[in-house]
Structure 1
């Protein structure tokens, strides 16, 4: 039986040497791709457009990456490098540390809204060093807190999935608000008027819309995230106590 070969990825691709004028590096490609994604969105990323922004032909990019998917692997990992992780991990601080990582991850995703779309559709985005650095920190936190390997894995996966799902909804809403041209609070108040009216046949939903009528939208989003995160961490605390 022959040995299994590795999946092709930006992280396993050998770098070919090519003389270019001016010299083009993988770092330049990644930085320009992030600038393009932040300013124009995921739909506008292409090898040709990126090459134009770099004053290089699209073929020059293929020296460093095989395709657009590999560019996304690289840019996602670079963005993951913005997530703050604890410098020192201690069992007594496990809940605070997970909270801090979750908050930083949310802030990072909202600063680059296209990330939520890429993370929900790409397959090899978790192989980069910054992604592994973040995962390693979260796994270390739960292991030091006393979780065995499998429950610890499930805890980290649940937490990451929650943050990604929550940030995806927020990013979509903020993108819609930006397109409307309205300030967030005005958009939110108009949404509440519409939502209250449409929810009248559904008393449990209607009651909750009424309760949100006068909240500040921006701080409300932060508070909701914190409260929902606490629900997950409360569950992890109970699980940890019963190990």
Structure 2
């Protein structure tokens, strides 16, 4: 089997060719085209053959950079992470403000590419991607600047990411359903209210909550709930790991 098609554990373990040996088609071109295809048609539409057609490229040019769809997804997921602004460790507003901006930026990136939440658990060792590594290093530095030990900073990073990805996964699934329907979020929500209110008639707490949300803007409600949940996460991290003020 040619070296280019050896089964590596990850695209990040694939040796890079010297620049003088690079083929006309670059890795960046492949990733950009794959990202456009995923955004337009979803993950089920992605295939090496379809991508090659879109790039007007033969298999040899593509397999120089990626052996299969799994490696391609590793690259594209890392590219999405690269869209998120990396927080500065010495943020004048403190670690909470820096992590809050990062979390909102991460959520926004995931919702711009809702297909990503269905592949994140299938992208091998995506944590070795350069954008993910750069991002994680920056977030660890933010927490350390806030007084966390390195071990606590790592736990805090994992907790924040679990929250952001968990909430965004549900939101992305909802937005994907909306996109297939061709309807706006507000119209879809309004059409569901009669059935929803009927369904909760025997559940007084849910009935009260549904009634309070009857005329709210659906997108604004999602934004507010994400922000409130994030504050709760940061409150918990501060209480467990951050040194008391003046300590």
Per the normalisation by structure 1, the TM-score is 0.90
CA deviation profile, 1:129-177 (whole Å, cap 9, x unmatched) = 1011111111111111111222221111011011001111111111111
Written as runs of structure 1 = structure 2, the 5 A alignment for 1:41-52 is: 41-52=42-53
CA distance in 2, matches of 1:29, 1:171: 24
C-alpha deviation, 1:88, in angstroms:
4.9
User: Residue 77 in 1 paired to residue 78 in 2?
Assistant: yes
Number of aligned residues: 235
Which consecutive residues of structure 2, in runs of 5 or more, have no partner in the other structure? Answer: 1-7
| Structure-2 residue corresponding to 1:104 | 105
Q: Which moved more, 1:149-158 or 1:99-108?
A: 149-158
CA distance in 1, matches of 2:22, 2:209: 63
Would the aligned equivalents of 1:91 and 1:145 in 2 still touch at CA under 8 Å?
no
User: Residue 120 in 1 paired to residue 121 in 2?
Assistant: yes
Counterpart secondary structure, 1:24: coil
CA distance in 1, matches of 2:69, 2:109: 22
User: Residue 198 in 1 paired to residue 206 in 2?
Assistant: no
Per the normalisation by structure 2, the TM-score is 0.88
Which consecutive residues of structure 1, in runs of 5 or more, have no partner in the other structure? Answer: 1-6
CA distance in 1, matches of 2:205, 2:28: 52
| Structure-1 residue corresponding to 2:4 | none
Structure 1 moving runs of 4+ over 3 Å: 15-20
| Structure-2 residue corresponding to 1:25 | 26
C-alpha deviation, 1:114, in angstroms:
1.1
CA distance in 1, matches of 2:68, 2:138: 30
Counterpart secondary structure, 1:8: coil
CA distance in 2, matches of 1:88, 1:153: 15
Q: Which moved more, 1:146-155 or 1:95-104?
A: 146-155
- With over 3 angstroms needed to count, the CA separation of the structure-2 counterparts of 1:91 and 1:139, relative to structure 1, is farther
| Structure-1 residue corresponding to 2:161 | 160
CA deviation profile, 1:83-110 (whole Å, cap 9, x unmatched) = 0123452486100000000000000000
| Structure-2 residue corresponding to 1:133 | 134
Written as runs of structure 1 = structure 2, the 5 A alignment for 1:88-103 is: 88-90=89-91, 93-103=94-104
CA distance in 2, matches of 1:90, 1:102: 15
CA distance in 2, matches of 1:27, 1:235: 40
